[in-house]
Structure 1
Amino acid sequence: MGEATAAEARPRSQDLDLVGWLVEQLQERINAGEITAGTWLRQAHLAEQLGVSRTPVREALRRLQAMGAVEVIANRGARVRLPSTRDIIEVYELHGVLQGYAGAATAAFITSEQLERLAAAARLFRQVVEDLRTRTLGTAEVQRRWYEANTRFHMVIIEASGNRHLAEVVEGLHRKVPRNLTWIALGNDVRRLEKDAAEHAMILDAITRGDGAAARELLISHARHAGELLIRTVDEIGPGYSPQWR
C-alpha cells in the first residue's frame, strides 16, 4: 500500500481505532514480507509514511510486541521479531491440529462452489511452479501469486468447515510466524515448490472424494513439513540477522 493510499484510508479518529488500523497495516506488511524479520522500525519514518503522529505509532508497536510480532530492545528500539525454533514448533503443531480438524469437516460439508475455488487455488500453485521454472515472471510477482494461492486454499478449507471462529484463531497464529518466511524457505527452489504444490493437490483430492480421515492426515503432515522447513530456514538466518531500517 502506498503512502498516499495509506493516508487516505486511515480512520479520521485519532484514538484507539487509529491504533488498531496501524496494527493491521504493519502486521499485513510483516506477513507479506514488505517488512522483513530483523527490520528496525523507526517511529518517525512510520509516522511520516502512514500520515499520523508518533504517539499512535508508538502504541501500535507496543501492541505488536504483545502479539509477538515485534521485539523491543532497550536503547535500540523496536524490530520485527524472527520467530524462535520453539515458536515454529508450537505454532505449526497447532496449525496441523486446526487445519486437520477443518479438512475433515470440509470433506463432509464443502459445497460445489467452494470446491471449485479450492481447485482453482490448487491450479494456481501449479502455475506458480511453472512460472518460477520458466522465469516468465519476476520473483516478486511469483511470490505474490503463491501467497494468493496459499491464502485462498487454506481459507476455503476453514470456511467450508463451518466453524465461524476458526479463521480468527488461525490468523492469530500467523501473527506469530509471518507468512513470508514460508516463501523464503520455498521460493528459490523449484523442487520444494513442486512438493508443496503436490501436497495441496493431494489434499484437494481427498476433500473431493469426501475422505475426511485422509484430508485430516494430509493437512497435519503438510503443516509438519512446513514447520520443519521453516526451522531450517530460521537456523540458516541465525540470531545475528542483519537489521534494516523502516
Structure 2
Amino acid sequence: MQEISDRSTSAPADRPSGTRARVLEDLRNAIISGAHPPGTPLSEGALAEAYGASRTPVREALKQLQVEGLVEIRARVGTFVRQPSRREVVELFQIKEMLEGLGARLLARRGSVPELDLLRHNIAASEAAVASGDADRYAHLVHEFHDLILQGADNTRLLAHYRQLMNQLAYHRLVISSLRRPGRPGASLGEHRTVVERIAEKDGFGAELAMRDHVRASERGVMADPAPGGPGEDDERKDT
C-alpha cells in the first residue's frame, strides 16, 4: 500500500513535467486514501496553492484522474471526487478476484521466496492489530497483504493491471467500509491465513481458490455497507 506522499512541494520551476507527475501522484493518493471523500469538490485554485504549483499541472492531473475514474469533471459546474456505482464495484471486484487468484497461484509455484516470509510477518502483525482492535492498522496490513501476493507472483503486467484496478476501486475506502462489519476483521484474517498456508504448501490450485473465496467475502462486506464511502447507487437507479 502506498502512503500519501509527503514530498516537498517546492519542485523546481524549470521541471514542469516533474511538477505534473508530483501533483498527479499526490492527488491520486489523497483520493484513494479517503483524504478527499466521494463527492468532495476539487478546486483548481485551492489545489494549486496546496501543492505549490500553477493551475496547469493541476488541471492536467484532474483530466488524468477523470480517465482513471477517480474524479468527475462536470462542465460549468466543477470537478468532484467520483463515487463508483454499485454495478461498477461489483464488476471491478470480479476482475480483482481473477487477478488475485492468479497471483496466489503463481506465487505458490515459486516456492520459498522472500514474499512468503513477508506474508508470514504480515499475518503476525495482523493478528496483533485485530486482537487490539486497531482497525486502521489492520486496514493498512490488508493492503500490504494483497500487494505482497501480486508482487510475489513475479509478473510485471499482472502487477501493473492490479494496481490500476486498486486505484479505480479507491480500495482504501472500501476496506474501511468492509471492516466496519462486526466480526469481519477476524474473518478476514482467517482467510488470509488460509491463503498463506496454501501458498506455503505449494498448492497453486488451493491458493487460487482460497484467494478467490477471500475476495468474494470482502466484496460481500463492502456491498452490505450503505455508509458513506461505500459504493454508490446503481446508474439505472440514478436515472429514475
Q: TM-score range, shorter-chain basis? A: 0.7 to 0.9
1:35 matched residue in structure 2: 36
- Residue 104 of structure 2 contacts residue 199 of structure 2 at CA under 8 Å; is this kept in 1? yes
- In 2, distance between residues paired with 1:207 and 1:4? 35
1:152 aligned onto 2:153? no
Unaligned 5+ runs, structure 1: 240-246
Q: Residue in 2 aligned with 1:175?
A: 167
Paired residue for 1:224?
216
Q: Distance in 2 between matches of 1:3 and 1:93?
A: 30
- Alpha-carbon separation, structure 2, partners of 1:149 and 1:95: 18
**CA-CA distance at 1:230 after TM superposition:** 2.1
Which residue in the other structure is 1:66 paired with? Answer: 67
TM-superposed CA distance for 1:52, in Å, is 0.5
Distance 2:6 2:199 in 1: 43
Is the contact made by 1:129 and 1:190 (CA closer than 8 Å) also made in structure 2?
no
The alignment partner of 1:7 has SS state of coil
SS in 2 for 1:78: strand
Displacement of 1:14 after TM fit? 4.7
Q: Which residue of 2 aligns with 1:244?
A: none
Report the equivalent of 1:198.
190
Equivalent pair of 1:64/1:70 in contact (CA under 8 Å): yes
CA contact 2:179–2:185 (8 Å) conserved in 1: yes
Match of 2:176 among 178, 181, 184: 184
Map of 2:116 onto structure 1: 115
Task: Give the Cα separation in 2 of the matches to 1:184 and 1:129.
Answer: 14
Q: Distance in 2 between matches of 1:122 and 1:2?
A: 24
Which amino acid letter does the alignment assign opposite residue 46 of structure 1?
L
SS in 1 for 2:155: coil
Report the Cα offset of residue 129 of structure 1: 1.1
Partner secondary structure for residue 82 of structure 1: coil
Q: Which amino acid aligns with 1:160?
A: G
Structure (1/2) with the larger helix percentage: 1
**CA offset at residue 106 of structure 1?**
0.8
Cα distance in 2 for residues equivalent to 1:2 and 1:199: 28
Bigger Cα displacement from structure 2, 211-220 vs 121-130: 121-130
**Counterpart residue identity of residue 7, structure 1:** T
Residues 1:214 and 2:206 are matched in the alignment: yes
Counterpart for residue 47 of structure 1: 48
Structure 1 contact 88–230 (Cα < 8 Å) conserved: no
Which one-letter code corresponds to 1:119 in the other structure? R
Q: Percent sequence identity over matched residues?
A: 25
Distance 1:6 1:38, change over 3 A: farther
- 1:35 aligned counterpart, secondary structure: coil
**Relative CO higher for 1 or 2, CA cutoff 8 Å, sep ≥ 6?**
1
Cα 1:49–1:121, aligned 2, differ >3 Å: closer, same or farther? same
Amino acid at match of 1:109: R
Distance 1:178 1:131 in 2: 26
SS at match of 2:83: coil
Query: What stretches of structure 2 of length at least 5 have no aligned partner?
Result: 234-240
Opposite residue 48 of structure 1, the aligned amino acid is: E
- Tell me the CA shift for residue 2 of structure 1: 9.2
**SS of equivalent to 1:101:** helix
State which drifts further: 172-181 or 186-195: 186-195
Contact 1:6 1:51 in 2 (8 A): no
